[in-house]
């Protein structure tokens, strides 16, 4: 009788573990979201955001995509500066971007040089630099961009790209 009781407990335990495992797998969220990698940690700061990743550059993207309303941590490379890029149709004045360092201090955003060529996207779009981030190499920054007045088309699915640019000499 004792052996039968233990056998019953073991089978019940196995069944419960199987149910828990399958229910957890069944509840997982399989929708695509922002690309995550070891250099970019993201946190959501407002509202539901669905990210349309269909307008990426043709080549492998060395940048970090940041959906509007999200914050991501980005490291400044040793041999480059970072640009915040958007598409040519956006009203730059409608976009509110804020960059802070590891201590929470605001980092200055500069106008990018005029000679930076536009970047073609895979589906016909064009990316242009909106701002250059004025930060020292090796700094860990938090970047957030918002469109509070919803002036940019498809605000819910739009994102900026933070992309390293060129080799910085003399630093």
- The backbone torsions φ and ψ at residue 16, rounded to the nearest 5 degrees and listed phi first, read -60, -45
Instruction: Note the pLDDT tens digit of each residue in 114-143.
Output: 999 998 887 778 999 999 999 999 999 999
CA–CA distance, 153 with 123 (Å, rounded to integer): 16
What integer is the mean pLDDT of 51-55? 45
Tokens of 156: 């819910």
Instruction: Note the pLDDT tens digit of each residue in 158-169.
Output: 999 999 997 555
The pTM (predicted TM-score) of the whole model is 0.65
Instruction: Note the pLDDT tens digit of each residue in 75-104.
Output: 999 888 999 999 998 999 999 999 999 999
Instruction: Note the pLDDT tens digit of each residue in 21-48.
Output: 444 444 444 434 444 443 444 444 444 3
What is the SS3 assignment for the chain?
CHHHHHHHHHHHHHHHHHHHHHHHHHCCCCCCCCCCECCECEEECCCCCCCCCCCCECCCCCCEEEECCEEEEEECCCCCEEEEEEECCCCHHHCEEEEECCCCCECCEECCCCCCCCEEECCCCEEEEEEEECCCCCCEEEEEEECCCCCCCCHHHCEEEEEEECCCCCC
Length of the chain: 171
DSSP string over 33-54: -S--BTTB-EEE-SS------T
CA–CA distance, 80 with 169 (Å, rounded to integer): 9
What integer is the mean pLDDT of 145-149? 95
pLDDT > 80? residue 155: yes
What pLDDT was estimated at residue 52? 44
């Amino acid at each position: 009788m004792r052996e039968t009781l233990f056998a019953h407990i073991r089978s019940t335990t196995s069944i419960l573990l199987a149910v828990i495992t399958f229910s957890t797998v069944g509840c997982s969220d399989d929708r695509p979201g922002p690309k995550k990698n070891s250099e970019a940690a993201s946190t959501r700061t407002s509202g539901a955001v669905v990210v349309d990743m269909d307008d990426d550059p043709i080549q492998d993207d060395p940048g970090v995509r940041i959906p509007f309303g999200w914050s991501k941590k980005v490291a400044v490379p040793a041999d480059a500066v970072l640009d915040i890029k958007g598409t040519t149709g956006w009203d730059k004045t409608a976009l509110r971007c804020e960059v802070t360092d590891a201590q929470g201090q605001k980092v200055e955003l500069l106008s990018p040089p005029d000679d930076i060529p536009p970047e073609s996207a895979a589906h016909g779009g064009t990316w242009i630099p909106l701002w250059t981030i004025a930060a020292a190499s090796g700094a860990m920054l938090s970047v957030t961009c918002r469109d509070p007045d919803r002036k940019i088309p498809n605000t819910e699915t739009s994102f900026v790209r933070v992309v390293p640019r060129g080799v910085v000499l003399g630093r």
